[in-house]
Amino acid sequence: MKPQLRVEGLEETLAILKTVEPDVIKEMRKEIRTIVTVSGAISAVKFSTPATAPLSGMVHSGPTKWGGVKSVTTRILSRTSAFKSGPKSVPLITISATGKDSLGFDYAELAGIRRRPPRARSKIRGTGLRGQQAGDGSIALNGQGDNFIAMLEERVGKRPGRFAYRAVFQKRQAIERGSQVVLDKYAARVNRKLK
Domain shared by 99 and 129, yes or no: no
Domain shared by 87 and 21, yes or no: yes
> What's the pLDDT score for residue 1?
40
The beta strands (E) that lie in 26-134 are given as: 69-76, 93-99
Task: Indicate whether 3 pLDDT > 70.
Answer: no
Domain shared by 77 and 61, yes or no: yes
Q: What is the DSSP letter of 171?
A: T
What is the pTM assigned to this prediction? 0.74
> What's the pLDDT score for residue 117?
77
Q: What are the φ and ψ backbone dihedral angles of 66, each rounded to 5 degrees?
A: -80, 135
Rounded to 5 degrees, what angle do the CA atoms 179, 17, 88 make?
Answer: 60
Domain shared by 73 and 21, yes or no: yes
> What's the pLDDT score for residue 121?
76
Please state the rounded mean pLDDT for residues 60-75. Answer: 90
Closest by Cα among 100, 97, 80 to 10: 80
Please state the rounded mean pLDDT for residues 54-81. Answer: 85
pLDDT in tens, 7-43: 666 677 777 777 777 788 888 889 999 999 999 999 9
Contact assessment for residue 35 and residue 182, using Cβ atoms and an 8 Å cutoff: yes
Alpha helices in 40-118 (DSSP H): 41-48, 104-110
pLDDT in tens, 99-158: 988 899 999 999 988 777 777 777 655 455 555 455 566 677 777 788 888 999 999 888
Residue 4: inside a domain? no
Distances (CA, A) of 153 to 46, 89, 145, 158: 20, 31, 12, 4
Domain shared by 54 and 141, yes or no: no
Domain shared by 176 and 88, yes or no: yes
Q: What are the φ and ψ backbone dihedral angles of 109, each rounded to 5 degrees?
A: -65, -40
> What's the pLDDT score for residue 2?
42
Q: Give the C-alpha separation, 58 to 148, whole Å.
A: 10
Q: Which domain holds residue 144?
A: 117-157
Question: What is the percent of the chain with per-residue pLDDT over 90, rounded to a whole number?
Answer: 38
